[in-house]
Amino acid sequence: MAGVQKGAQKGPLTDDLKGAGKGVQKGVHYGLRELGEPYPRLSWPQAVEQAWAMVEGLSAAELAGQVLAIGFVPAQVTPEVEATLRQIRPGAIILFSRNIPSPAAVTALDRDLQQLADEISPHRLPFLIGTDQEGGTVARLGPPATVFPGNMALGALGDVRAVRQAAVITAQQLRTVGITWNYAPVLDVNNNPANPVIGVRSYGEDPELVAALGIAAIRGYQMMGVMATGKHFPGHGDTAVDSHLGLASVPHSWERLQAVELVPFRRAIQAGLDCIMTAHVHFPAVEPEAGLPATLSARVLTGLLRQTMGFPGLIVPDSMEMKAIADNFGLNQAGWRAIAAGADVAMVSHRVEDQCNVYQGIIEAVQRGDLPRERLVAAAARSVAARLRYGLTSASQEASRLTAVLSQAEQQGWEAVGVGRAQDRQKALTMAAAAITWVRPFSTGLQQVSSDRMVLPLPSPDRPWLVVEFGVRATSFAEDPMEGEGPLARALRAELPVDTRAVHGLTLLLGGGAGDAMTQATLATLLDALRHGRYGALCVATHEAHRLAGQMEMVNQLYIACRQAVPPVPAVVVGMRTPYEVAVLPEAWPYLCLYGPTEVTLAAAAQVLLGRAQARGELPVSVQGLPDEAGRARSWRERVQGVDWVAGLDAGGTSTKCWVASVDGRLLGRGEAGPGNFQVVGLEAATRAFDEALRQALQRARERAAGANAEKLAADPRWVCLGLAGADRPEDRRLLARGVAQLGWDAPIVWENDASIALAAGRSVGAQAVLIAGTGSIAYGRAAADGSPVRAGGWGYLLGDEGSGYDLGRRALVAVLKAWDGRGPATSLTQAILAQAGEGVEPPGLIPLVYRGAWDRPHIAALSHTVLAEADRGDAVAQEIVRQAARELIELVQAVARRIVPVSPHARDVPHAPAGPHAQASSTATVVRAVAAGGLLASGSPMWKWLRQAEAEQAQGRSSSAETAAPRVELHPLPVEPAVGAVLLALERLGALEGANGERVLARLYGSYREHVS
C-alpha cells in the first residue's frame, strides 16, 4: 500500500477544503474506522435477517424496550437512571447538551452506559446512542469539539465538498466519544419566513440544493460509522407552528409535495440514507383523517415512505413528548400507535414517567391485539439491524474502546483522539467566513476596500465601536439556551487583543418583565451617546427581528439616533439568523447575515467586520425588501451552472476506461489507463489506473469547457460508479475501499460488478433484457416488474467456468503441459506463462503451479489475458484456444437471447443506439439495444476480432433452415462502452432518469456519445 499512498494520494478531486480524510489514512484515532472496513458493513436485508433471528423469541416487554429511545437529565448514570434503564431495557439512548458538558464527561457516560448494556441488553448488544449534532444552533457536543456552521450557512456557501467534510469531521468526533447515531441532517425545505422551528436549520428554499447538500452530509456521517437521520419527513419547512407547542398542517397538494417537500427525502433514500425522522405535522394530501400527524399515519409511514418511496431503513418519529402528540393523543396511546403505523423506534426524551407510560402502553397494546406482535418484532429487528450495520455487536467491546479513548485523551489531550483539533477548527472558520453574506447593498459610512468587501472605520479607544446585542435565549425548543451576554462583542475583542476598550458591548433584554424599565433606561443612555458622537460606529446584532416586535422597535430607535448625530454614525446590522428580517429593518443600513451565532461564525464575522476576511456567501432563501433581483435566491442548478457531473469507471482486466457526464446527459470527457482488475494486476496498480483514468477524463472535460464551467468541473462529482468485474465478496470490497480511500477522492463511490451495471443501465432505457461481455466474461438478466434482476452472473456462474475467460487460462496451462518437450518452452505462450511463474521453472515445478495456485481466479484471469496477448502475436496454441472460446461466446449469446427474449427470425435490423428509454420491441433489436445500454463490447477490445471471426465462420456454415431455428445475434461495434453503462447507473441512482426529464437526459447522453466517437 505504500506505493498507492505515495504515488496516488492526491487524486484529481483535491482542493483547499480537503483534508478531512487525513486522520483516516493514519488510522490512529480510536473513534475512526480502519481503512478497508467502510460503514455500513451489512446491507439492510442482511442486517434485518440477522436481527430478526435475534429478536423473534423475545418477550413483549423486551421487544417494547428495543423500540424505545430514552433520555435523562444527569450527565452520569445515577442510581435513578440505572433503575429506569434496567426496567425498560431500551434499544437506544438520546443525549442532550445537559448530558454533554465536555468530551471527557460524555465519553465516561457512554462507557458506563455500555457497561450497563452488557448486563441488561438482549444478546449483550450495545445501546445505540444518539444526539442532535446538526451544527450551527443545534449542536449538543460543543467546544472544545469543533462545531461547524449550520445548514443555512452551508447553503449560502453552496459547496458539496465542504458539507461532506464538515460531516466527516463531526462524525469522527461523535464516534470517538461513543455517539453512533446523529439526528441530522435536516432535509426540510424552508420556504416560510414565519417558520418558528426550522429556519437556519434548513439548507435553503430550493429542493435540489437541500438534496445535494443533505446527501453530502449523509455520506460524510455514515462513511465514518455514524448513522445519519434525515428529518422531518415529509417536510416541516412550510409551517408557522412549532410542533413542540402544537400540531401544524401542510395543506399542499400531492403534486406540490412531490415537487418540493419530498424531493430531498427521495434523493437521500436513493443515496443510501439509513434513518428518517418523521414530523408531528398533518399532511391532508396523504392522510385524509383530520388532525392525524405523519408520525401516527400508516398512510405516511408505511404507504408513502416504505412502499411508494422504497425506504428500507429505520423510521423514528420526533420526540413523543412534544405537545403536538402529547396533548392530542396521550403518551400511553401515541407510542404504540406510531409503531403500528410503521415506525421502528419511539423517542421519549425527558421524563421517566412519560417513558414508562409509553413503554407500558406498547406492552398492553400487544396484549389487547391492537399492536400485532409481528409488527413489534419487525420494528425491534430494524432497531437491532441498525446496530449490526454499523458494527455495534458487543457492548463490552464498545465500553473497552471508550475506556481506551479516555486513557489516551487524559495522557495526550483530546486532539490526540481527534476531538477539537486545531486544523478542524480552522476548516470550520474558513467555511463560516465564506458563508457569511452581505445581503443589503452598502450605504454611505462604510469603507469600500474592494467590489465585494466593505468595512467600518477601525475602532480605537477614542472612537470605540458600540455593539448592541439582544438577550434572546433561544428561538425554538430544538435549540439550547444561549448563556451569557454579548458574544459578538467578545468575538470582536478577541480580534483586538491590544486594547479591548475599542469595543463597548451591551446586551439589551427583551421581555424581561421587571427588567424592562432598566432596559429602557439603558437604551435611552445609548441613544444620547450616539447622538453626541461618542462612538465611531455601531453594530447591532439582531435575532429574527421580523418575528419579534420589541426588538424591531429598539432597532428603529438606534437607527434614528445614528442619523441624528453630526456627522451620522456609520452602522451595520448583523443578522444572527435568517435573512428574512431584512424586510423590516431600516433600508439605509447595510445588512450582514451570519445564519447562526456559533463560536466559529462569530469569530469569522469579527474578521469580516474588521476587514480581515471576505464574506462570499449567497442567499439560499429569497427575502423581501431588496431592490430588483437582489433578494431572489438562485436555484441550485443556476449556482452550479449546469456542470454538475457524474463519473463512470470500468475497471477491466485489460484497461480502465472512464467517462464523465453532466447530470443533464452531456458526455464531457473520456479517459483510459492501464488494467484495473485488482485481482489481475494488484491493488496498487489498479488504484493508480482508477486515478489516471479519471484524471484524463477530467482534463479533457476541462479542455472542452470554458471559464467558470471549467472551474466547476474541478469540484467533486455527484457520483462515481466503479464497475469491478468479480469484486462481489465483502473482503474484496474492503480491500478496494482501502485503496480508493488513499487516492484522496472526496466523491461518493458506488461499487458494482459489470453485471449490476448492465442490468441497471438496461432498466434505465426500458430494455427487456441486458447482456454484457468483455474480454472473458458475460452476464445476463431480465428486469422483473419491480425492477429487480431475475438472474445475473458471469460465465463462471452460468457454465461452471466452462468456456469462460478463466477457462482460457486453464486451457492455456493444459496446452503448455502438452507442448512441453522436456528441453524447454515449446511456444511463446509457454514462455510467457513460465515468465509469470518465475525463471528456471522445471516441469515438476509447473504442475504444482497448475493444481495449487493457478486454479485460483486471480491466476487464471492473468493467464487468460496472457493467452489473448500471445494470440495477437501469432502463437498457434494461443490462437486455437481463443478461437474456441470465441465460438462458445457466440453460441452462448444466441442461447441466452433465445431463452429470455422472444426473437423473430426475420428481425435482422440492428440499430446502433437504444431507440429510447421505453424501447420494448420484441425482436433481436431489443437484445442489441439492451446490450448497447449495458455496454457489451466496444470495437477494438482484445476479444473483438476473435468474436467477429467466429461470427463469420458460423455464418458461412449456417443453412437457411438453421437460420430460422436459431436466429443470429449480430455483434456489431456498439456505441456504448461499459464506462458509459456506469454513467447510466450513476444517473439512475441520482434520479436524473426519472420521467420526461429522463428521456431528455438519455437523448442528450446518446447524442453526445455519438458526437464524441464520430
Q: What is the DSSP string of 67-133?
A: TEEE--SSSS--HHHHHHHHHH--SEEEE-GGG-SSHHHHHHHHHHHHHHHHHHSGGGPPPEEEE-E
DSSP collapsed to 3 states, 381-396: HHHHHHHHHCCCCCHH
Q: Which residue has the higher pLDDT, 236 or 817?
A: 236
Q: How far apart, in whole angstroms, are the C-alpha atoms of residue 864 and residue 798?
A: 18
For residue 889, what pLDDT is reported?
Answer: 65
> How confident is residue 936, by pLDDT bands cut at 50, 70 and 90?
very low
Q: How far apart, in whole angstroms, are the C-alpha atoms of residue 742 and residue 11?
A: 9
Residue 437: is its pLDDT beyond 90? yes
Q: Which residue has the higher pLDDT, 379 or 628?
A: 379
Residue 325: is its pLDDT beyond 60? yes
3-class state of residue 169 by DSSP: helix
What residues have CB less than 8 Å from 757, skipping those under 6 apart? 650, 721, 723, 772, 934, 935, 978, 981, 982, 984, 985
Mean pLDDT of 640-645: 64
C-beta neighbour count of 253 within 10 angstroms: 10
DSSP class of 308: I
Contact by Cβ (8 Å): 137, 200: yes
| Residue 304, CA distances (Å) to 273, 285, 311, 339 in order | 16, 11, 9, 15
CA 855 from centre of chain:
40
Q: How far apart, in whole angstroms, are the C-alpha atoms of residue 729 and residue 325?
A: 46
Contact by Cβ (8 Å): 316, 69: yes
Mean pLDDT of 719-737: 73
Residue 847: is its pLDDT beyond 60? no
For residue 227, what pLDDT is reported?
Answer: 97
Residue 740: is its pLDDT beyond 90? no
DSSP class of 417: G
Residue 203: is its pLDDT beyond 90? yes
Which of 61-65, 255-259, 628-632 shows the lowest mean pLDDT across its residues? Answer: 628-632
Which of 77-91, 322-336, 839-853, 955-969 shows the lowest mean pLDDT across its residues? Answer: 955-969
Q: How far apart, in whole angstroms, are the C-alpha atoms of residue 63 and residue 243?
A: 28
> How confident is residue 1001, by pLDDT bands cut at 50, 70 and 90?
confident
Residue 624: is its pLDDT beyond 90? no
Q: How far apart, in whole angstroms, are the C-alpha atoms of residue 693 and residue 317?
A: 45
For residue 512, what pLDDT is reported?
Answer: 46
Neighbouring-strand partners of residue 719: 646
Instruction: Write down the catalytic residue from 244, 350, 912, 1012.
Output: 244
Task: Give percent above pLDDT 90 in the chain.
Answer: 35
Task: Give percent above pLDDT 70 in the chain.
Answer: 69
Grid cell in block for residue 824:
524447454
For residue 246, what pLDDT is reported?
Answer: 65
Does 786 participate in catalysis according to the annotation? no
Residue 857: is its pLDDT beyond 60? no
Grid cell in block for residue 560:
434614528
Contact by Cβ (8 Å): 579, 626: no
Residue 167: is its pLDDT beyond 60? yes
Per DSSP bridges, beta strands 537-542 and 465-470 are: parallel
DSSP class of 227: B
Mean pLDDT of 954-978: 47
Grid cell in block for residue 631:
433578494
Q: Which residue has the higher pLDDT, 1012 or 364?
A: 364
Q: How far apart, in whole angstroms, are the C-alpha atoms of residue 726 and residue 454?
A: 58
Grid cell in block for residue 719:
457520483
Residue 940: is its pLDDT beyond 70? no
Alpha-carbon torsion angle 605, 609, 610, 611, nearest 10: 100
Q: How far apart, in whole angstroms, are the C-alpha atoms of residue 579 and residue 436?
A: 11
Does 244 participate in catalysis according to the annotation? yes
CA-based radius of gyration for the chain: 32
Mean pLDDT of the chain: 77
Nearest Cα neighbor of 774 from 724, 735, 737 is 724
> How confident is residue 966, by pLDDT bands cut at 50, 70 and 90?
very low
For residue 1004, what pLDDT is reported?
Answer: 80
What residues have CB less than 8 Å from 59, skipping those under 6 apart? none
Grid cell in block for residue 425:
477548527
The pLDDT tens digits of the residues spanning 289-311 come to 888 989 999 999 999 999 888 89
The pLDDT tens digits of the residues spanning 447-466 come to 554 544 556 777 777 788 89
Contact by Cβ (8 Å): 200, 156: no
Contact by Cβ (8 Å): 246, 323: yes
Highest-pLDDT range among 591-595, 836-840, 926-930: 591-595
The reported pTM is 0.71
For residue 917, what pLDDT is reported?
Answer: 29
Q: Which residue has the higher pLDDT, 90 or 44?
A: 90
Q: How far apart, in whole angstroms, are the C-alpha atoms of residue 808 and residue 867?
A: 7
Contact by Cβ (8 Å): 984, 1005: yes
The pLDDT tens digits of the residues spanning 569-588 come to 888 899 999 999 988 888 77
Contact by Cβ (8 Å): 878, 871: yes
> How confident is residue 758, by pLDDT bands cut at 50, 70 and 90?
low
Q: Which residue has the higher pLDDT, 797 or 138?
A: 138
Phi-psi group of 520: left, alpha or beta (phi > 0 → left; psi -120 to 50 → alpha; rest → beta): alpha
Q: How far apart, in whole angstroms, are the C-alpha atoms of residue 928 and residue 913?
A: 9
Instruction: Write down the catalytic residue from 238, 242, 318, 807.
Output: 318
Nearest Cα neighbor of 757 from 745, 772, 746 is 772
3-class state of residue 669 by DSSP: strand
> How confident is residue 345, by pLDDT bands cut at 50, 70 and 90?
very high
The pLDDT tens digits of the residues spanning 669-691 come to 899 998 887 777 778 888 899 98
The pLDDT tens digits of the residues spanning 580-621 come to 998 888 877 888 999 999 999 999 999 998 888 888 899 999
Q: Which residue has the higher pLDDT, 32 or 649?
A: 649
C-beta neighbour count of 454 within 10 angstroms: 22
Cα–Cα–Cα angle for 590, 579, 319, nearest 5°?
A: 155
The upper half-sphere exposure of residue 664, i.e. CA atoms within 13 Å in the direction of its Cβ, equals 6
Per DSSP bridges, beta strands 314-317 and 537-542 are: unpaired
What is the phi/psi pair of residue 49, to 5°? -60, -45
For residue 912, what pLDDT is reported?
Answer: 29
Grid cell in block for residue 101:
458538558
Q: How far apart, in whole angstroms, are the C-alpha atoms of residue 69 and residue 89?
A: 10
DSSP class of 186: B
Q: Which residue has the higher pLDDT, 838 or 921?
A: 838
Residue 8: is its pLDDT beyond 70? no
What residues have CB less than 8 Å from 192, skipping those under 6 apart? 237, 238, 239, 240
End-to-end CA distance of the chain: 40
Q: How far apart, in whole angstroms, are the C-alpha atoms of residue 614 and residue 808?
A: 63
Cα–Cα–Cα angle for 193, 199, 202, nearest 5°?
A: 120
Alpha helices in 198-322, H assignment, sequence order = 207-223, 254-259, 263-270, 298
